Amino acid sequence: FHAVPLLILILPAFFVSAEAGSSFMDRVGASLDMIRVALALLLGLLPAVFFGWRAISLGQKASWYLNLGARPNSSERSKTAVGNALGWLAIYLAIVWVIFILIALI
């Protein structure tokens, strides 16, 4: 889902005419409008946060149902840890995208 904001927000910045003194963030800010920001939020960031929270909750449920705390060497424990880590990664990347959008709009 994090490829959607990349395609919507960053790719058009490469097609904006570059002046001699303009930086990449200036070009991204010039190419942003509210429709692109809304599309990036609705199609990319909100689903990423939703599925990130879902992965975290499913990992916690699986850990609880399988009683993984009582099993010392369990492959299921590593699977739930990976799911939990990927869920948090999706959420943190969405937060980074929001911060990037805010910086580009300033």
Show pLDDT as tens, one digit a residue, over the chain (106 residues).
678 887 887 777 777 666 656 777 777 777 778 888 888 888 888 888 999 999 899 888 887 777 766 666 667 778 888 888 999 999 998 899 888 888 877 7
- Token pair for residue 22? 């303009």
Per-domain residue ranges for the chain? Answer: 3-105
Q: How far apart (Å, rounded) are the C-alpha atoms in residues 62 and 77?
A: 9
Torsion of CA 89, 93, 99, 102, to 10 degrees: -150
Q: Please give the model's pTM, rounded to 2 decimal places.
A: 0.71
What pLDDT was estimated at residue 54? 92
What pLDDT was estimated at residue 21? 62
What pLDDT was estimated at residue 36? 82
